[in-house]
A and B are shown apart, each in its own frame.
Chain A
């Protein structure tokens, strides 16, 4: 316990001193995570809305697949992306392996099914309310999807948060495709794993604390925005 408290104190010192390495790692982590979540939302929100709102052959199967993909093992995704991006892989000539872009690709693949599956559920529930009115007004499929996404926007913030939670805590895939290279692809989670294995618990703990604080701040900000927006828009 004493050792833990000591490490915690040293971690606080590193944070307060705005350690350059620490800041670089935090910056890269946020860049990779937020870009991946944004990309996942761009793909997953409309995909989930289409599956949730429209009727087409194979719709049930699509919903099932989306739900199943929520549990994608990160190391498997990491391995697949690694094979695609490696020198002998189909995307090898792009030279993306061991770059932040490769990490963004891996995280996007992991987060997209989460965003899509949760969006499908949110949109499907809302569509149950709207279905007859939409049918009466003869709302076209595209307009239907857009309207449902817009009206469910506050619930979808929580969906995006779930994706953020998955991405920011991810380590398996990014360490495979990023390689945890110092000053290039080292992010908070991979650094925590590395520093812990080296016995540098203070630095690892400092990053852990920062990770928790970031998660808390992002969640707090989004939930506050959601609550105030809900008061203005929803009943």
Chain B
């Protein structure tokens, strides 16, 4: 019923057909079960290289789960994730980084947080120092290098989290609602970091339920409802003329329930 109503197949297929062959990341028949329920249900998507892909939907629709599946943090119950056309493996995951909604700060200084990430990713010596300095400057945390990371403000912590992820030179960066608890100024600063990363060629996959942010940052958009992708396409197109009832209701601020959710 959901598929007929939302016409899932058509837009998703059309988008895939429009996508260039160099799709960086692909999900094929992705399913994930938890607590006896299907939480992610047969997702087929392509994440195109060098693009900013927004994953949108209401709370509990599976945005964060999808990001974790794509990043390889959890294993799908069914289906697979392809990285540059091959099953996602350690090498593929090495080329990715993720920023979480609640930034995970080690109980160390700001600089030590950066240093740890770079060390485990194999950066040593002068290269590590250069990356540390660049990340501190990029995140505008220059004067806070020796401060305990956990005493930073929420905005500073999230900037550090993004800078830490980018310091490891990922090809793809996943961001799970990185500005959900930030004020507008901090949100702007984090968005600026995302723009800079994108300008450097990093593929961005951002989960958000902020339509304004999706407009500001999105090239492509994936709209989810009840663990399924109900609409995909160019971000501005989906946001301006949503085809699915779930996306339309969401953008109009209406409560949308359907029998399958």
Which A positions have Cβ atoms within 8 angstroms of B? 126, 129-130, 132-133, 135-140, 143, 147, 151-152, 232-235
A136 to B105, CA, bound (A): 13
Taking a contact as CB atoms under 8 Å apart, the answer to whether B150 and A234 are in contact is yes
Q: Which residues of A contact B249 (CB under 8 A)?
A: none
**Is B150 a contact of A135 with CB atoms below 8 Å?**
no
Q: Which of B93, B97, B100, B117 has a CB less than 8 Å from the CB of A132?
A: B100
Closest to A232 in B: B148
**A233, B108: Cβ atoms closer than 8 Å:** yes
Contact status B120-A235, CB under 8 Å: no
Complex Cα spacing A133 to B93, Å: 13
Residue B106 at the A interface, CB < 8 A? yes
Give every chain B residue within 8 A of A136 (Cβ-Cβ). 71, 73, 96-98
B90: CB under 8 A from chain A? yes
Consensus secondary structure, chain A interface: helix
Q: A136-B73, A143-B120 are contacts. A235–B104 as well, Cβ < 8 Å? A: no
Q: How many chain B residues touch the partner (CB < 8 A)? A: 25
Could you jot down 23 A-B contacts, CB within 8 Å?
A126-B107, A130-B104, A132-B68, A132-B73, A136-B96, A136-B97, A137-B97, A137-B117, A137-B168, A138-B93, A138-B120, A138-B121, A139-B120, A140-B120, A147-B106, A151-B106, A151-B108, A233-B107, A233-B109, A234-B148, A235-B105, A235-B148, A235-B150
Which of B's residues lie within 8 Å of A, judged by CB? 68, 71, 73, 90, 93-94, 96-98, 100, 104-109, 116-117, 120-121, 148-151, 168
List residues of chain B with CB within 8 A of the CB of A137. 97, 117, 120-121, 168
Task: Report the minimum CB–CB distance from B202 to chain A (whole Å).
Answer: 15
3 shortest A-B CB distances, which residue pairs? A235-B150, A133-B104, A151-B107
Q: A138-B90, A233-B107 are in contact. Are A147 and B150 (CB under 8 A)?
A: no
- Could you say which of A130, A132, A234 has the most chain B C-beta atoms within 10 Å of its C-beta? A132
Number of A-B contacts (CB under 8 A): 51
Mostly, the B contact residues are mixed
Minimum C-beta distance from B164 to chain A (A): 9
Asked if A138 and B94 sit within 8 Å, CB to CB, the answer is: yes
CB-based contact B100/A133 at 8 Å? yes
CA distance A152 to B108 in the complex (A): 10
Q: Which residue of B lies closest to A133 (CB)?
A: B104
On chain A, the residues within 8 Å of B109 by CB distance are 233
A234 CA / B117 CA spacing, docked (Å): 19
Residues on the A chain within 8 Å of B90, using CB: 138
What is the CA–CA distance of A113 and B97 in the complex, to the nearest angstrom? 38
Chain B residues contacting A130 (CB-CB under 8 Å) are 104, 106
Q: Cβ of B149: which chain A residues have Cβ within 8 Å of it?
A: 235
Residues of chain B within 8 A (CB-CB) of A151 are: 106-108
Most central of B71, B93, B120, B121 by chain A CB within 10 Å: B120
Question: For residue B161, which residue of chain A has the nearest CB?
Answer: A133
What residues of chain A lie closer than 8 Å to B151, measured between beta carbons? 235
